[in-house]
Structure 1
Amino acid sequence: MDVIATIQDFRRARGRFGRLGFVPTMGYLHDGHLSLVRQARAECGAVAASIFVNPTQFAPHEDFSRYPRDMERDLALLRDLGTDLVFTPGVAEMYPPGSVTAVEVSEVSERLEGAVRPGHFRGVATVVCKLFNIVQPTRAYFGQKDAQQTVVIRRMVRDLAMPLEVVVCPTVREPDGLAMSSRNVYLAPEERRAAAVLYRALRQAEAAYRGGERAAASLRRIMRDTLAGEPLAEIEYVSVAHPDSLAELDAVIDGALLSLAVRIGRTRLIDNIPLPPDPPD
């Protein structure tokens, strides 16, 4: 496994491979990340990953400085999976002095997470665009857990005619349903137990949908009521949205996205479930 810190050296190493699957990460890897690496390996043969905590997607009051990092552990996990290339740039490599160019994906970046974290997806789209230009992947792999991020990236790839396929893989969960996330390490034991309420709220709304409920307001109310039963949960938003535009729905459609953001103590958690299509008559 080659671990490479500069763009020039990475491009030189990339030339040894044809089809290449790519898994961009901010490190502190968990089984969700590793599932993406396994799928990339199965579908593309060669795999590249990146480890870069991107400062431009954090607001000044957010947790960039305390975001968990463990490079040696991450590299050992990637090595065990047979990863071919790992790109580990520093901030100055990705954003040289004087950098002023950014990528803005309008509309889908302005809802949900974008409404409560202004500028977040500008940072995401910019760094992912740069990584795609550097890595030149055949396919890039992302987890469904960050649903809005996948919508933004797919729109960017389509609009800018980027020659790659974006593959979205199912969310990997803990036994109690909590979506795996690098931020879960922030949770104290009592908070960790409370965090299971996110998935429980989503599943309650999904069950109502499977039972025939098609009013989006009712599904939102079910999620809010379930979350309200957990004293440690502070709701930021609950949503029933169109899967492509992320506009809020009145009547639920096939594939609608249930999503929510909740604070448990000082830790902000997000999760989602795409609703299945209506069964045939």
Structure 2
Amino acid sequence: MTSPMLAQTTEYGRMYARKANGVPEVPSITTVISQASTDMDGWIGHMAATAVIQDERLADCVGNPAKLKAIARQASSAAADYRDAAARRGDRVHFYAENIALRAMGKPHQAAQAREALKENNEGAFADRFDEWWEQFKVRPLAAEVTVWNSEVGYAGTLDLVAEIGGRVCLIDFKTKGTDRNGRAKSLDPKVVMQLAAGVKAQEISVDPIAGTWDEWPYPKDAMLLGVALGETEVVPMMAQPHVLPAYWRRFWALRQVWETNMNVAGLGQPLLAVPAPPA
């Protein structure tokens, strides 16, 4: 996950401040969305089991409990290792996308370095597919890595890209995706609609994070909302359908209340008190 200048990791999740090194005031969009519980037990178990059966040491460990335990210990972190590796890959792909946008806007960029970082990790195909999509859709970037704020509900976040495509202003969230067994980019999680709905409800954008200056939201509220799956074999842009946005926004609003309730409860201290027996 990328770390915008105004974002800070706290005990209540990632939060945003109004200026660099300021006091965190509101939760990030992704922190709010994470309040919706997701059952990962099946996936975690699958990753651990797969790590065991693919371990080259397994055949030599049969009948040796100590060696089998060593394999099991290592396999128990397989899901976390996979998640962390995927996050690092996602950061590299997002960094490339951001710098392609900066280059197109005539701003200082590190596009060459970003592409080289992908190549060094055997991920150059992500850059190739991204470039193809960029040219095919004739993307005209307006702003990259835009930090936004909503004071009314109380949240902030960072949009990957604001761009004009086909004459429409689009808010774009990139998701780096693996490849399925059919050679296609894996599908987007519908939760991306919540992320986009929260983004378009922004009231302000950060102008200078060091000084802490903000401007009113300058883009159309009816902008097209695109979740874009960035894969090694293809790039798949998906539009959030307008008729679902009110329901997804309400869900985001409700999760924001959950986050605040959880924070308030955590600050109350010990909720239960031992009761002594009554005097004789």
State TM-score, norm by structure 2: 0.30
Please tell me whether Structure 1 or Structure 2 has the larger radius of gyration of its CA atoms: 2
TM-score of the aligned structures, taking structure 1 as reference length: 0.30
